A and B are shown apart, each in its own frame.
Chain A
């Protein structure tokens, strides 16, 4: 057994197999999607809930933010369903 056949499933290289590459890429993509979603929701909910920024976050502002996040996720679901039920 030579050094090129260790630790990979057939076609990959010794240090870094195709499977490992795909797994790492999936993790990174998931992180990127989550990051992007966070930024979008942050922008939308800031606009809706923090209309006049005060010296601290009020209780009504923070409950607005929670509702806003929930509704934004729900809205994403509605839009996604429309896009995929019509095909």
Chain B
């Protein structure tokens, strides 16, 4: 690819989109890993029990709350 193509708006848009997708992907993967370890304590069954799926969903929601609190706390320090 010729170097001037790096400035192409299409390419920049594409790269930004992919960057965002990668961040989202990483966050979902990380959070799934953490919540799986917390919530799925037995051997995996044919379907999640209601307490397991509620735990996964609560775990993800609390993680978001935690992120917000930490962000506010850090902002208030600056």
Contacts and interface: CB of A to CB of B under 8 A. Distances in A.
Q: How large is the interface on B (under 10, 10 to 19, 20 to 34, 35 or more residues)?
A: 35 or more
Contacts of B1: 12-13, 15-18, 21
Q: How large is the interface on A (under 10, 10 to 19, 20 to 34, 35 or more residues)?
A: 35 or more
A18 B10 contact: yes
A81 to B, nearest CB: 8
Contacts of B47: 71
Interface of B: 1-2, 4-5, 8, 10-11, 14, 18, 21-22, 24-25, 27-29, 31-33, 35-36, 39-40, 43-48, 53, 56-57, 59-61, 64
Interface of A: 11-13, 15-18, 21-22, 25-26, 29, 33, 36-37, 40, 44-45, 48-49, 64, 67-68, 70-72, 74-76, 78-80, 82-83, 86
